[in-house]
Amino acid sequence: MTNAAPRTNWAGNYTYNAGDLLIPASIEEAQELVRQTQQLRALGTRHCFHGIADSDGIQISLEHLNAITLDETARTVTLGAGVRYGDLAVWLHSRGYAIHNLASLPHISVVGGVMTATHGSGLRNRNLAAAVVGLEILNANGDLVTLTRDANPDTFPGAVVCLGALGIVTAITLQVEPTFEVAQTVYENLSFDHLKDNLRTIMDAAYSVSLFTTWQDHRATQVWLKQRVDDGVAAPAEFYGATRATTNLHPLAGHDPVNCTQQLGVPGPWHERLPHFRMEFTPSSGAEIQTELFVPIDMGYDAILAVETLKNEITPHLHVTELRAIAADDLWMSPNYRRDSLGIHFTWKAEPEAVARLVPQIEAVLSPFGAIPHWGKFFTMDPRVLQRRLPNLTRFKNLIYHYDPKGKFLNEFLENTIYAG
């Protein structure tokens, strides 16, 4: 089955150069395609904001590989590369299990999310890729290679967040835990002054914490606290001077919260509270561009003040900024490698020229903090600067060479980022 060009990403700000999109019905068909094709890439659910999923040859979609199997003894779930987080979550919950966290949107493919170190929030929660314990990958020869954290401790941490560069992932295995309930409470108007001495404490005030701001008035307009019911739920009327909301809210002031997950402290299953948006709400495209930069959380307050100096340039072009915490991991190409991080995220209006002008300014003011961009979102960082901030880049390139010596999965995105300079 094919799907001819032109195709765009979800946001519509990038048109893929790849020719056909082929949709194999089985692993064997995918294997044949890899063997027969000079240049290709897997396309997930197209939620990246640039050409990371593009290829000079073709793209393949593994959407038909959507089997899910649970191993209750090992406490793991194995899923085909076509499965989205939202589908997995419903399936797992109905069997009494959960994964540790979710991104803001449930429509993202699990494998595509893992490839770029997609994350939710929580000072003690690592990104979603950190839950991966096994991978099945078609390498450039079309051989199906199985890698696990236990059997391949030397290379596994390099293979998980691999930007799609090692090959075509056909299946992935994640750690699971017993299902849990979450209650979500939103507060309004938290002064940034409280972050000076309490950033870690505030980001650790619930299982998952998100601060939203438009950068005006030195404040977070909203604080979303997602508390695990088994940790105990507390929802005092005030939180560091911020006031508890009395109706459901959308992160963007004035927008209808109808598509947002339930708030007001009403307990519900983890997958209906950890994302900000409901699974049933399916945005086919979005009039937005996203950028996110990670800094060490202990430098987070100063980093926030640095971005705030640009507030009058940023706000007119911004829908909203979200600040989240991500715990350190050991994945070589993860922006959270060995550092507890603050993610400073920007949901921009669909104004590519303004975004292209502003992002370098934000990257510049965050340079003293060693900021690393989210691999799936829009960034402009000089590749030499980026490369200096990636302590495992050399061994990651060696790993790519091992799986794909002739560059079958290489693309312009990789050439302009990890190979440039």
Ligand X SMILES: Cc1cc2nc3c(=O)[nH]c(=O)nc-3n(C[C@H](O)[C@H](O)[C@H](O)COP(=O)(O)OP(=O)(O)OC[C@H]3O[C@@H](n4cnc5c(N)ncnc54)[C@H](O)[C@@H]3O)c2cc1C
Binding site for ligand X (CB under 6 A): 10, 41-48, 52-53, 62, 81, 103-105, 108-109, 111-113, 115-116, 118-119, 163-164, 168-169, 286, 290, 374, 376
Q: Which is nearer to ligand X, 109 or 194 (CB)?
A: 109
To the nearest whole angstrom, how small is the minimum distance from the Cβ of residue 207 to ligand X? 15
Q: Which is nearer to ligand X, 176 or 289 (CB)?
A: 289
User: What residues contact residue 284 under an 8 Å CB cut-off, 6+ apart?
Assistant: 10
To the nearest whole angstrom, how small is the minimum distance from the Cβ of residue 417 to ligand X? 11
Q: Which is nearer to ligand X, 118 or 341 (CB)?
A: 118
To the nearest whole angstrom, how small is the minimum distance from the Cβ of residue 361 to ligand X? 22
Tell me if 127 sits within 8 A of 100, measured CB to CB. no
Q: Which is nearer to ligand X, 228 or 276 (CB)?
A: 276
Q: Which is nearer to ligand X, 127 or 227 (CB)?
A: 127
To the nearest whole angstrom, how small is the minimum distance from the Cβ of residue 316 to ligand X? 21
Q: Which is nearer to ligand X, 281 or 401 (CB)?
A: 281
Q: Please, is 278 exposed, middle or buried when counting C-beta atoms within 10 Å of its C-beta (0-12, 13-18, 19+)?
A: middle
Q: Please, is 153 exposed, middle or buried when counting C-beta atoms within 10 Å of its C-beta (0-12, 13-18, 19+)?
A: exposed
Q: Which is nearer to ligand X, 239 or 403 (CB)?
A: 403
Q: Tokens 């040859």 — which residue?
A: 57
Residue 142 CB neighbour total at 10 angstroms: 18
Shortest-Cβ-distance residue relative to ligand X: 112
To the nearest whole angstrom, how small is the minimum distance from the Cβ of residue 365 to ligand X? 22
Q: Where are the extended beta strands (E) located within 208-361?
A: 208-213, 219-228, 238-239, 242-244, 268-269, 288-296, 318-326, 341-349
To the nearest whole angstrom, how small is the minimum distance from the Cβ of residue 136 to ligand X? 10
Picking from 376, 392, 399, the residue whose alpha carbon sits closest to that of residue 140 is 399
Sign of CA dihedral 60, 61, 66, 72: positive
To the nearest whole angstrom, how small is the minimum distance from the Cβ of residue 24 to ligand X? 11
Strands 208-213 and 268-269: unpaired
Q: Tokens 């706000």 — which residue?
A: 315
Helices 195-203/300-308 angle, 10° precision: 120
